Amino acid sequence: MNFQNTEIAYKLKSNKQLLNNLLIFRLISSRTLVSVFTKIISLSLKLNLPISGILNKTVFKQFCAGIDEKDSIQVVKKLKKLNVKSYMHYASEGNKSENDFDNNLKIIIKTINITNEDDALPFTVFKASSLGKFNLFEKKSSGTTLSQLEKKIWNKTINRIESCCKHAASQNVKIFIDAEESWIQPIIDEIAEGLMEKFNQEKTIIYTTLQMYRKDRLKYLNTLIQNSIKKKYKLGFKLVRGAYMEKENERAYKNGLPTPIFENKNLTDLSFNNAIDKILLNIEQCDLFVGTHCEKSIIKILKWMKENKISNGYKKIWFSQLFGMADHITFNLASRGYQVVKYVPYGPINKVVPYLIRRAEENTSINSQLPKEINLIKREIKRRKFNAI
């Protein structure tokens, strides 16, 4: 598999767009710049200063499809032309009021309906914490007893989550439950398991997300497989490495606790690969959706598919990359007929800031795939110049 074909990778980009991408990638590859930028943005948000303009021209444009579903649909249509499917997400984060949560529920239901009507949208997604108070997820995860009022509010949260999944199941739309911070994940896991047991009897509708940078996830994966075999339901896995590493390590350090994250990238990679092996071994029981920008992980799966004489378009294995990233993987895989989906987030600029900050920080990491992408874009610009002569 050759991921280096830049003509395929950047077919949808104009010369101007490629130059813009290059500029933004260069900016966010500087750790100092990203750190200053994040501080300014966070402070400006607190002080209600106008930041939309600068975000819109930089990271928002790079990593988000737009502010509403109409913008996203335009992106979905473009991707479809090159055999790439999409899943849309209203990526608003940091909501605090019951009104916000009700509004988020409405948007998720609307997205499920849109997904149902468009074969370019095979999945949809939600974040549990977008439907209820973060501190209640935290309390439930740590086993803290809730007050009467908190119980009432928590029941509303559960109802919202169940409504999403019930509606998705009624429309036959496959839905991911995102993985979040480890201190709210225990209750999300419990909810996701209950929902998979309820809705995945015949086929996989609900997918839980496993962050393989966590030391405990391989054991959890084994337990899930054993339980689902006993209780006779299907498992859907969105497999990722994990996006909250800095936050997780900082919190563990502050509280004098051991970090739940592996000590180095090699250990995370090993755990990710072991999870792939385990799921592929149980592929009759599981559906696999791999969210990664790491070529080696993808090649591992492609090799397994080839060895097992599994066709490229096999519907139980999907590959996915984030909008604005790793186009060389997305489009080269799609050109070979593999099942590929782009994660297409949207939302008002102020509300997607936490998502944008995670993307910027991730790309600054020393283990980031960004230098490779920068080189590929430069190569494509050169190729186009040469062809124009």
Q: Residues interacting with ligand FAD, by CB under 6 A?
A: 178-179, 209, 211, 213, 240-245, 261-262, 264-265, 268, 291-294, 320-322, 343, 362, 365, 367, 369
Smallest distance from ligand FAD to CB 245, Å: 5
The nearer residue to ligand FAD, 265 or 336, going by C-beta atoms, is 265
Q: Exposed/middle/buried for 167, CB within 10 Å: 0-12, 13-18, 19+?
A: middle
Smallest distance from ligand FAD to CB 267, Å: 6
The nearer residue to ligand FAD, 51 or 235, going by C-beta atoms, is 235
Smallest distance from ligand FAD to CB 168, Å: 16
Smallest distance from ligand FAD to CB 68, Å: 21
The nearer residue to ligand FAD, 37 or 87, going by C-beta atoms, is 87
Q: How far apart are CA 241 and CA 154, in angstroms?
A: 29
Q: How far apart are CA 76 and CA 85, in angstroms?
A: 7
The nearer residue to ligand FAD, 51 or 88, going by C-beta atoms, is 88
Smallest distance from ligand FAD to CB 145, Å: 28
Q: Which pairing describes strands 206-211 and 85-90: parallel, antiparallel, or unpaired?
A: unpaired
Smallest distance from ligand FAD to CB 182, Å: 10
Smallest distance from ligand FAD to CB 266, Å: 8
Q: Exposed/middle/buried for 353, CB within 10 Å: 0-12, 13-18, 19+?
A: buried
The nearer residue to ligand FAD, 88 or 294, going by C-beta atoms, is 294
Query: If DSSP states are collapsed to H, E and C, what string results for 171-210?
Result: CCCEEEECCCCCCCHHHHHHHHHHHHHHHCCCCCCEEEEE
- In sequence order, the 6+-apart residues with CB closer than 8 A to the CB of 240 are 179, 209, 210, 211, 212, 291, 292
Smallest distance from ligand FAD to CB 296, Å: 8
CA count, 13 A, side-chain hemisphere, 49: 10
The nearer residue to ligand FAD, 133 or 293, going by C-beta atoms, is 293
The nearer residue to ligand FAD, 78 or 265, going by C-beta atoms, is 265
Smallest distance from ligand FAD to CB 146, Å: 26
Contact assessment for residue 112 and residue 87, using Cβ atoms and an 8 Å cutoff: no
The nearer residue to ligand FAD, 293 or 351, going by C-beta atoms, is 293
Give Cα separations from 369 to 223, 296, 326 (angstroms): 32, 12, 8
The nearer residue to ligand FAD, 372 or 384, going by C-beta atoms, is 372
Q: How far apart are CA 200 and CA 172, in angstroms?
A: 11
Smallest distance from ligand FAD to CB 289, Å: 8
Contact assessment for residue 123 and residue 89, using Cβ atoms and an 8 Å cutoff: no
The nearer residue to ligand FAD, 107 or 243, going by C-beta atoms, is 243
Query: Can you tell me whether residue 386 is helix, strand or coil?
Result: helix
- In sequence order, the 6+-apart residues with CB closer than 8 A to the CB of 140 are 146, 154, 186, 187
Q: How far apart are CA 326 and CA 6, in angstroms?
A: 11
Contact assessment for residue 130 and residue 101, using Cβ atoms and an 8 Å cutoff: yes
Task: Give the residue at shortest CB distance from ligand FAD.
Answer: 291
Q: How many helices (H) and strands (E) does the chain have?
A: 17, 8
| 257 alpha-carbon distance from chain centroid | 27
